[in-house]
Amino acid sequence: MNSKNNKLVVVSAVGIILAVGVLFWLGKTNSSSTPDKLPLGANLLSASEGSFDFGTISMARGNVSRIVKVKNNSPEPVLIEKLYTSCMCTNASLIMGGRKMGPYGMPGHGFIPKINQMMSPGEEAEIEIVFDPAAHGPAGIGKVDRVVYVESDKSALLELKFSVMVTP
């Protein structure tokens, strides 16, 4: 009798696992075939420079900035939802259609509003990145690596990385 109960429990457990697996597989198949969804991880936005180096800069000289071009490589419009940075020492602005939006900074150091700017297929915009070498005070001397994030509705998160060597 005990052996029959064990077999029943094992068979029931295997049946439940198979049923859950089939439902999970069907759910993935249906969601990936939805026409408004693009492949997971697709990066429809590209940058003229995915990473760059400001080189060696003096804290005493003040802020440095750089413009990076971003392009929508998709055949569909892409909505730029947010722009934010990895640290309070960095801010970024979106320049599109003659308008400058921002600057935007690090989440948690102020509200980061949604930008909600549509980029047409093939359209380019600019991201102005500004780094303040004095933001961390004397503790900020040395090599620094930071990231600016471009978040959109259909594309993988675009990361614009930079490094800098800060001297006094």
Are 9 and 73 found together in one domain?
no
Q: How far is CA 140 from the centre of its chain?
A: 25
Nearest to 148 by CA among 156, 159, 157, 133: 159
| Full domain range(s) for residue 19 | 1-37
Are 14 and 86 found together in one domain?
no
Are 24 and 76 found together in one domain?
no
Domain count along the chain: 2
Domain containing 157 — which CATH number?
2.60.40.10
Q: Quick one: pLDDT at residue 29? A: 38
Are 99 and 72 found together in one domain?
yes
Q: Quick one: pLDDT at residue 138? A: 87
Are 56 and 10 found together in one domain?
no
pTM: 0.73
Mean pLDDT (10-residue bins), the chain, 168 residues = 57 49 42 39 84 95 96 94 96 95 89 90 97 92 96 91 96
d(Cα 45, Cα 122) in Å, to the nearest integer? 10
Are 140 and 97 found together in one domain?
yes
d(Cα 60, Cα 140) in Å, to the nearest integer? 12
